[in-house]
Chain A
């Protein structure tokens, strides 16, 4: 049970799940960092594309690549609409108003998808013809490897975007000091819109990656949202690398705890980590110190 192969298998599986958490956490953390909101509907930005993927692939029988590209397009619209309706009218208001508004949005999306897609869990056809791929004696579904690879590619892409492009620098500036950014001539509202769209696309990618290996239901988004919170907090609420590390961390720890301690309580571990972090080190791995009083 504790042999290297099994451990490695668990580790890779944990990394795969953790990568999905990292993607969702990234979406969540970006919005927090850019506009200071906690987006309770982040899970729905995974659930909606997942459903649409299933429909495109199974009902409309589109090939994979066009379907995936269409999803990205859908998520652009999703992000834009979400920003305009749920965030924009509330942008000056107290934090809790926006929070409640995103909850309303989440409720709306969950139930609308129930009406549109029905209550049966769906799954999309497997992307790879083989069940599992082996290396060094460890056998894992190829989809897991795809997920992990996608995360790596995305992290590199994002680093390039934020550090090396003008758009990325503008996004960073807007996140750090909105008024200053405005004074520098940065079109802040547009940058915020772009941030929302980018965050939605991240959710879309997560949804696409999950759809062949996860049962897609209208309330699946919820757990992802919560794990995204936990990941962000563990990694440090204002931190982008923190969200990624936090997601991976929770994915791996959760899996090992489920395997060796209790499978029934699998979901609890993420929240135990959350509470532990909040009590012992609220700033998480990479966050700034939660400041002294005055």
Chain B
């Protein structure tokens, strides 16, 4: 019943959002701000990945930046050393990152909670240190410059505005994929594992398999984000991928609302824009305020923005679309015994 009533409002909302998104580069003239939007989109994809492992499956992964880094470096190396074009790195970077995700996810199956968090931290640091120090392969501290802008056939995405559309499409696909996963049998399995791993196993869920799959999906998303980042900034270096960034992703997820697809995107966007808005202050001022803000938000908004919206939203309010659980509208009637 609420579904019926909400339908026209929902469509209107979606339509407005679609129009705004499509026209964004026109609405925002500043090249700098479009660039920031692009960054927000790329971060959103990384955070969406984190949402799968942490938000849905409840496993503490503090190494998402490492997978971002792996994706970025894979793209950078393939592009600058072997001349591979964008679509090729697009196809290779996420699976490469996913492979590393399995390398991390598989041996850590026995661990949980704090121990798993520790292991992921260690993993992330090792990856970071290797990328930073292996001069011959990764360029060491200097990184890898000269990555080409994306080219797809006749289309060149060398401006911020054009890249925006490319990134937006990727984000939409990434989000849609996750919504489908979340509402599927697989999504249920993830959520069951988060809620009560033993009960999940005893309901028939192969918890080991799904934990590894969750890691692989998370790192694939991270790798995709990294690949996009590499082609956007045309330069990668390991400094950017330090553990700070993994933690930043977690903050983005917590603030947006862990478990929520829309929340992941909102959280990532907010935490991209706020520091940028604060950038008119001297660098460290912005970061210091940012740090303080994180503490404050953690104290006063534990379920993140998505949780806030959910609790504020009554049956009349517009629900953030991708969030809705798929429910049967009516139970089929069967003859009783």
> Which residues of A pack against B, CB within 8 Å?
38, 40, 85-86, 89-90, 93-101, 103-112, 114-115, 222, 226, 229-230, 233, 237, 264-265, 267-268, 271-272, 274-275, 278-279, 282, 290, 293-294
Contacts and interface: CB of A to CB of B under 8 A. Distances in A.
Given A101-B294, A104-B251, 14 more contacts: A38-B114, A90-B298, A97-B298, A100-B254, A104-B294, A109-B291, A114-B284, A268-B125, A268-B133, A274-B119, A275-B119, A278-B115, A278-B119, A290-B115
Nearest to A294: B198
B48 interface: no
B288 A96 contact: no
B268 to A, nearest CB: 15
Judged by DSSP, the binding face of A is helix
11 contacts: A95-B114, A104-B292, A108-B288, A110-B287, A110-B291, A111-B291, A233-B118, A265-B133, A267-B125, A271-B129, A279-B108
Contacts, number: 126
B247 interface: yes
Nearest to A290: B115
Nearest to A225: B243
Given A271-B129, A275-B126, A293-B198, A100 B250 contact: yes
B334 interface: no
Contacts of A86: 295
Given A97-B254, A97-B302, A278-B118, A85 B295 contact: yes
Nearest to B201: A293
Nearest to A264: B133
Given A275-B123, A278-B111, A111 B198 contact: no
A263 B285 CA distance: 35
Contacts of A290: 110-111, 115
B19 interface: no
Nearest to A103: B247
A98 B291 CA distance: 13
A275 B123 CA distance: 7
Contacts of A94: 302
B204 interface: no
Contact of B121 (A98, A100, A226): A226
Nearest to A226: B125
Given A97-B254, A115-B288, A265-B133, A237 B294 contact: no
Judged by DSSP, the binding face of B is helix
Contacts of B288: 107-108, 111-112, 115
Q: How large is the interface on B (under 10, 10 to 19, 20 to 34, 35 or more residues)?
A: 35 or more
A272 B126 contact: yes
A280 to B, nearest CB: 10
Contacts of A265: 129, 133
Contacts of A264: 133
A275 B254 contact: no
A104 B115 CA distance: 21
B30 to A, nearest CB: 26
B100 to A, nearest CB: 13
B115 A282 contact: yes
Contacts of A268: 125-126, 129-130, 133
